[in-house]
Structures are given as structure tokens and as C-alpha cells.
């Protein structure tokens, strides 16, 4: 079953509580929370206080995506509220140590690759991952167009995960809509992150149902 993880990056934060209730009713599987520091990516979003508030008002798992420099510095703090905690392969951490630390804290570990990174670079890290996130846009801004190169990466990762006999979810983030979602699923995606496509809809419940039925 394909999982949907709406990204709150493009949400209206003044109505976020009500919107989360609508998403819960629509049957989404988790919430995707993009943490940006203005260094690793050229934008700033929100931090742990917002994530803590969301955690207190929903039973949905929180899929926390750290787009921050040297993420190992903050793993312990974000692990307090995350169910999945992902960080970028390119962010300048000791990736093996960081993935192990996330699991030691009782959180599902995930690593993220940017469009410029080849999937083969993280094959050795797959045994330490519960999920891999493939960016299908450049990280840092919502509303970008899907980059087809992500499809080949998903396919290669799916093959390698099966070769290593692992249980690792494949997530894709960026430009997911009615046209790109089926392509991503066919290429191997298990989790679809959709932000603007869901939160810009007049009827979010209907939009989620449309994705699930594709």
C-alpha cells in the first residue's frame, strides 16, 4: 500500500491544526516536516517548537526531514518528536554514526539524496536505514517541478534493496501530483511526499483520495 506524507511546508500555519484534522480524516499516513536552516539550503522554515506542537495535536507519525548543515548536532533534540528522522547524505555528517544514533534513540532512520547525488553512493548505508528519501526537486523550496531523473534513482535503489534483502521504504519528495505520482510508484516509491498539490487544493480530502486511487 502506497503511503502519503503531506508536506506542511506550503500550509497556512494559522489553519494548520484544522488542516491536519482534515488530513487525518482523509487517511494520510504521516506528516512530512521540512526543517531548513538557511545554510544547507537557501531558506529557513521552522524548528523543534513547531514540531513539538504538531506532535501534541496529532496521532499521525511525523516524518521529519532535516535540511540542515551537520545534522548530527541536533539528532537528539529532533528524535524527541520524530517517528522518521531523515538527514541529507551531502550535509557533512558521519552518516553511519548518525543513522545508528537515530535508531538508538528509538526512531526510524532515513537518509536523503539530492538530485546531484547518485544512488550508488548510499548503497553501503542501506542496512542502517528504515527509509531512503529521493529528492525529485532541489531541496529548499516548495512548488517546484518534478525532475524525471529521480525515477531512475528510485528504480536502482529498489533493485539494490531487494538484492540486500532489506526492508527499506523508498520515499520521493518534490513535484508530486496526479501526473507524477503514478510514475514514481511504478519506479519503486513506497511513500509520496506532496505539499503544494494537497495544501493548495480547495478540497484536500478529495485531493488525497485522488492520489490514493491513482
Q: Collapsing DSSP states into helix, strand and coil, what is residue 46?
A: coil
From the list 143, 135, 117, 142, the residue with the least C-alpha distance to 184 is: 135
Would residue 34 show up in a list of annotated catalytic residues for this protein?
yes
Reading the block at residue 167, the C-alpha cell is: 526492508
Catalytic-labelled residue, pool 34, 37, 130, 190: 34
179: left (phi over 0), alpha (psi -120 to 50) or beta: alpha
Catalytic-labelled residue, pool 19, 37, 130, 173: 173
Q: What are the residues whose beta carbons fall under 8 Å from the beta carbon of 199, sequence distance 6 or more?
A: 6, 8, 10, 11, 12, 19
Count CA atoms within 13 Å of residue 65 on its CB side: 30
DSSP state of 203: -
Would residue 130 show up in a list of annotated catalytic residues for this protein?
no
Residue with cell 498539490: 197
User: Which of the residues are catalytic?
Assistant: 34, 173
Amino acid at each position: 500500500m502506497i503511503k502519503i506524507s503531506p508536506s506542511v511546508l506550503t500550509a497556512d500555519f494559522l489553519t494548520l491544526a484544522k488542516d491536519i484534522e482534515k488530513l487525518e480524516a482523509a487517511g494520510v499516513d504521516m506528516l512530512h516536516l521540512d526543517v531548513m536552516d538557511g545554510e544547507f539550503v537557501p531558506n529557513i522554515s521552522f524548528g523543534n517548537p513547531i514540531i513539538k506542537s504538531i506532535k501534541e495535536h496529532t496521532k499521525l507519525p511525523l516524518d521529519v526531514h532535516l535540511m540542515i548543515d551537520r545534522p548530527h548536532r541536533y539528532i537528539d533534540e529532533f528524535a524527541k518528536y520524530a517517528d522518521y528522522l531523515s538527514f541529507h547524505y551531502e550535509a557533512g555528517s558521519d552518516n553511519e554514526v548518525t543513522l545508528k544514533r537515530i535508531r538508538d534513540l528509538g526512531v526510524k532512520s532515513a537518509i536523503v539524496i539530492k538530485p546531484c547525488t547518485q544512488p550508488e553512493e548510499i548503497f553501503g548505508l542501506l542496512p542502517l536505514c528504515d527509509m531512503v528519501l529521493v529528492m525529485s526537486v532541489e531541496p529548499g523550496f516548495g512548488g517546484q517541478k518534478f525532475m524525471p531523473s529521480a525515477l531512475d534513482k528510485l528504480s536502482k535503489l529498489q533493485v539494490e534493496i531487494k538484492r540486500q534483502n532489506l526492508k527499506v521504504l523508498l520515499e520521493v519528495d518534490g513535484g508530486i501530483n496526479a501526473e507524477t505520482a503514478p510514475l514514481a510508484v511504478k519506479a519503486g516509491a513506497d511513500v509520496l511526499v506532496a505539499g503544494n498539490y494537497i495544501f493548495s487544493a480547495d478540497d484536500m480530502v478529495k485531493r488525497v483520495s485522488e492520489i490514493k486511487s491513482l
